[in-house]
Amino acid sequence: MRIGIIGTGVMGAFHVKLLHEQVSGATVAAVADPDLGRATAAVAGIPGAVAFADPRQLIECTDVDAVLIASPDFLHAEQTLACIAAGKPALCEKPLSYSVEDAERVTAAHREVVGDGVPLVHQGFMRRFDPGYVEQKRVVDSGVHGRPVMVHSVGRGVETGPGATDESVIFNSAIHDLDVVPWLLGSPVTEVSWHAPETPSSTGGGLRDPFFLLLRTADGALSTVENSLNARYGYDMRSEVLCETGAVAITEPQRIVTSSTLAATADLPEDFRPRFAEAYRLELQEWVTALNEGRAPTLATVEDGAQATRVAAAAVASMRSGGAFVRVAAPGAGINAGAGTASVVGVR
């Protein structure tokens, strides 16, 4: 399977390396980036791989069988639509869009092309492939601890990237939690409420950081999402599901704890790459294998991506309204009147 990758920044270059070195049944055929020098450097040493400055050239290239979209967030919907129009399978990194309307346009175009056939587009929510999250969901789904009643999902990073806004943090980072909480519970988010300390952290870089989201799901559960992207101490993702008779928590990222000189220490990763490298590899391998076999991959769907955008838009609306619960729009309905704009501009 000849894969073309749009975007050769941190995420795109990471995918190039994984596909070339650790995924079987695929080859990196092309990359595209407005910075042609960066694109060329990303595929240096990969025989036959070409670099384009224009993503549309990659999408239309006859030597590219499928496209992985790892460009800046604001380009995802447009480039996904271009792949659908070209009939090219695509895996789009999160988020699908910062706009509910654009997400609806993508899902409508996708339905028109594939109908009830094999999906053409999938969404890159890699936590669904992380061994810890997979095992957590397996135990919760087994019912051995009774019904799940609450999820606590925590996302802490070292420092936000340049150009981050309060809105983009929700759409780009917290969106992982907005997908994984309903995935763990098997129930969609129906309402969102945003809350933050009156005095943000001094390390927050002007953002309202950290913040909490309260999520109500259709099964009646109430869950929390903590997002603190300027925690400084390390990249730390946590998840605990509270069930009726037990709790199921992921123990990552500490795999090894060293005890010495009256202290116990554990290393923390600096960013997403060491923590979720295996999740990304497993996700890419499933995508490539399914494409080669002509079946539907078990990845998140484009509809899952659109739903996460709806939940994120409701979270932004709650933030702008001072923390009120905001109902998540139904598919095709846009965001409910008075909740705030459904379209948010941000920078990766």
Q: Is the pTM value of this prediction over 0.85?
A: yes
Q: Of 124, 139, 156, which marks where a domain is finished? A: 124
Asked if residue 340 is part of any domain, the answer here is no
Asked if residue 79 is part of any domain, the answer here is yes
Triad 201, 204, 206: Cα angle to 5°: 110
In this structure, the answer to whether residues 147 and 250 fall within a common structural domain is yes
In this structure, the answer to whether residues 90 and 167 fall within a common structural domain is no
**Which amino acid appears at position 42 of this protein?**
A
Structure-token pair, residue 38: 């960066």
Report which secondary-structure segment, H or E, holds 240: strand 236-243
Please tell me the distance from the alpha carbon of residue 96 to that of residue 203, in angstroms, as a whole number.
29
The DSSP code sequence of 61-91 is -TT--EEEE-S-GGGHHHHHHHHHHHT--EE
Task: Please check whether residue 235 is in contact with residue 156, taking contact to mean a CB–CB distance below 8 angstroms.
Answer: yes
pLDDT, one tens digit per residue, over 29-57 is 999 999 999 999 999 999 999 999 999 99
Q: Exposed, middle or buried by CB within 10 Å (0-12, 13-18, 19+), for 313?
A: buried
Q: Exposed, middle or buried by CB within 10 Å (0-12, 13-18, 19+), for 220?
A: exposed
Task: Please check whether residue 71 is in contact with residue 79, taking contact to mean a CB–CB distance below 8 angstroms.
Answer: yes
pLDDT, one tens digit per residue, over 231-272 is 999 999 999 999 999 999 998 777 678 899 999 988 889 999
The DSSP code sequence of 159-216 is -PPTT--HHHHIIIIIHHHHHHHHHHHTS-EEEEEEE--SS--TTSTTS--SEEEEEE
In this structure, the answer to whether residues 195 and 113 fall within a common structural domain is no
The domain that contains 187 carries what CATH number?
3.30.360.10
pLDDT, position 136: 98
Q: What is the mean pLDDT of each run of 10 residues along the chain (348 residues)?
A: 98 98 98 98 96 98 98 98 98 98 97 94 98 97 98 96 94 98 98 96 94 97 97 95 97 81 90 94 98 97 98 98 96 54 31
Please tell me the distance from the alpha carbon of residue 74 to that of residue 276, in angstroms, as a whole number.
23
pLDDT, position 256: 79
Asked if residue 157 is part of any domain, the answer here is yes
In this structure, the answer to whether residues 97 and 234 fall within a common structural domain is no
Indicate the number of domains in the chain.
2
- Residue 175, domain extent: 128-275+307-327
In this structure, the answer to whether residues 166 and 314 fall within a common structural domain is yes
In this structure, the answer to whether residues 16 and 102 fall within a common structural domain is yes
Which of 183, 209, 154 lies closest to 308 in space, CA to CA? 183
Please tell me the distance from the alpha carbon of residue 267 to that of residue 288, in angstroms, as a whole number.
33
The length of the chain, given as a count of residues: 348
Asked if residue 343 is part of any domain, the answer here is no
